[in-house]
Structure 1
Amino acid sequence: MALKLVYPALAMIFWIFVVGVILCVRRKNAFTSGEVRPDEVSVSTERYPVPARLASANFSNQFELPVVFFALIMLAIQVAATSYVMAALAWLFVASRVVHTLIHIGPNQLPLRGAVYGVGAIALLCMWAGVLVAVL
Structure 2
Amino acid sequence: MLQGDYLWVALVSAVSVLVYYLTLLNAGLARVKFKVPAPSHDGPEDYVRRVRAHQNTVEHLVMFLPSMWTFALLVSPIWAAALGAIWPIGRFFYMLGYSKASNLRRPGLYITMPSIYIFILGSIIGAIYRIVQG
State the TM-score bracket (shorter-chain normalisation): 0.7 to 0.9
Structure 1 ranges of 4+ moved more than 2 A: 76-81, 112-116, 127-135
Between the aligned partners of 1:58 and 1:109, the Cα distance in structure 2 is: 10
Higher relative contact order, structure no. (Cα contacts within 8 Å, ≥ 6 residues apart): 1
Specify every segment of 5 or more residues in structure 2 that has no aligned partner in the other structure, as ranges: 130-134
Overall identity of the aligned pairs, in %: 15
Q: TM-score, normalised by structure 1?
A: 0.77
Between the aligned partners of 2:93 and 2:99, the Cα distance in structure 1 is: 10
Matches within 5 A, 1:1-136: 1-31=5-35, 38=37, 44-46=40-42, 48-79=43-74, 81-83=76-78, 85-106=79-100, 108=101, 110=103, 112-135=104-127, 136=129
CA contact (8 A) 2:68 2:80 kept: no
**How far off its partner does 1:115 sit?**
3.8
RMSD: 2.1
What SS class does the counterpart of residue 85 from structure 2 fall into?
Answer: helix
What SS class does the counterpart of residue 29 from structure 2 fall into?
Answer: helix
Q: TM-score, normalised by structure 2?
A: 0.78
Q: Deviation digits for residues 110-133 of structure 1, max 9, x if unmatched?
A: 1x5224312311121122333334
What SS class does the counterpart of residue 93 from structure 2 fall into?
Answer: helix
- Higher helix residue share: 2
**How far off its partner does 1:109 sit?**
5.1
**One-letter amino acid of the counterpart of residue 116, structure 1:** G
